[in-house]
A and B are shown apart, each in its own frame.
Chain A
């Protein structure tokens, strides 16, 4: 069987991946158990109160993930926060090219460092939404009995809106992951060199070109898939 050498680049350290999936898992439990409270077709989930218990268990995990991040990989957390709120002229250029990026093109974009402007904004909004969700959620949890109608209204408004923002950000996050085959970054920690070159050329150039940062993997060359056009071509040639 024919093989080829493919280079993979270390994108996320184990601690970062653990924190990511814990945060993501807690987020989805919170989203579903929360939707049960605002979307009538799901309200059967909320009846009886089990979803409230799940919501609170997930809330504790969600709340603690930044602290866990700091414990497991403080450098990762520091870089995340710093990069999320540092913008340059190049970021503006990148944003101008965003519509094309949204629809699958990267060649028109200026070379990017570790995170591009879209990721920076995504991270920044996620951090802001995190604090809005957590603050209003804690108010609803611990403030019961002293919020009053106005307090309840304010807390639920902030909670709903910030959660909607985070859910929409997550939709975009998943969208780009699957458009650009970025999932291995969070499952294995590595992205293909091709991905790194197309999306983060400056970052790729800045890291040591040796293990564990860059590794080489022998990979089977997949059988070329027969597509209708190709067969027509063959027949024409034959």
Chain B
């Protein structure tokens, strides 16, 4: 399937929490689990106050630090989304540590974060959050469609919100969630340029190096053992003969 994405239009979000509840019910999340949260952000100075509802949920980074760091492969990428194989999660919490958005949490010893409704999308349905949104703030489709829609919405917003912009086109290799922001990301509590931690040198460098060195030492000593053993027994025989 093509690379998919979601659109979240903050200028349309009412903060009604319908998506939060729909996600929780639709995905049958355990008590204490919540994959979508809505945070209320206020900026500006009285009387020029402005506000927005900002989602806190997995943004499905293309270069996802959580996927890079996950030791068991429980976190993986598919069709632009970051999926979770909950059975493979060991609950180590490394993903919690490295996510620049602080999204994954541990609930009952395993990771809890939006695992995407890719199953629904593949059946031609919409994700739970998208289908309940009464304001048309959410949408799901191919990434190109979503980006085009986001651009159109930003253009339409420019009169009312001169600082309106797209978020997620480039951050972390491109997010799987494209946001239409009425204000600069910093004002909304989003990092303008989240850093991709240099985790690749651990997983692609040090881990194979460690395993390779260990395998090499086993191989070397395995081969040398036959030579050394034979020569040791020979030396032992010789010293016994001399001794007697």
User: Which residue numbers of A lie inside 8 Å of B, CB to CB?
Assistant: 35-40, 43-44, 46-49, 51-52, 102-107, 144-145, 147-153, 156-157, 160-161, 163-164, 167-168, 171-172, 174-175, 178-180, 194, 198
Contacts and interface: CB of A to CB of B under 8 A. Distances in A.
B74 A175 contact: no
A104 B197 contact: no
A102 B231 CA distance: 10
A179 B211 CA distance: 24
Contact of B88 (A47, A52, A144, A178): A47
Nearest to A150: B197
Contact of A179 (B110, B199, B225): B225
Chain B: number of interface residues, binned into ranges: 35 or more
Given A43-B71, A47-B90, A168-B214, A153 B232 contact: no
A160 B89 CA distance: 20
Given A37-B71, A179-B225, A160 B202 contact: yes
A179 B229 contact: yes
Nearest to B199: A153
A38 B214 CA distance: 13
Max chain B C-beta neighbours (<10 A), residue from A35, A51, A144, A153: A153
B233 to A, nearest CB: 8
B224 interface: yes
B90 to A, nearest CB: 4
Interface string B57-100: 00000000100010111100000000000011111111011101
Interface of B: 65, 69, 71-74, 87-94, 96-98, 100, 109-110, 195, 197-199, 201-202, 206-207, 209-211, 213-214, 217-218, 221, 224-225, 227-232, 234-236, 239-240
11 contacts: A36-B72, A48-B90, A52-B92, A147-B97, A149-B65, A149-B100, A149-B197, A153-B198, A153-B202, A157-B206, A198-B236
Nearest to B231: A104
Nearest to A152: B97
B109 to A, nearest CB: 5
A173 to B, nearest CB: 10
Main secondary structure of the interface of B (DSSP, over half): helix
A105 B228 CA distance: 8
Contacts of A179: 225, 228-229, 232
B88 A43 contact: yes
Contact of A102 (B97, B214, B217, B228): B228
The 6 A-B pairs at the shortest CB distance, nearest first, are namely: A104-B231, A149-B197, A104-B228, A164-B210, A37-B71, A104-B232
A103 to B, nearest CB: 5
A160 B207 contact: yes
Nearest to A146: B97
A185 B88 CA distance: 42
Contact of B235 (A40, A52, A104): A104
Contacts of B71: 36-38, 43, 46
B221 A175 contact: yes
Given A47-B89, A160-B207, A171 B202 contact: no
Given A46-B72, A47-B74, A149-B199, 6 more contacts: A44-B88, A48-B89, A51-B90, A107-B239, A145-B97, A175-B224
A38 B235 contact: no
A148 B92 contact: no
Contacts of B227: 103-104
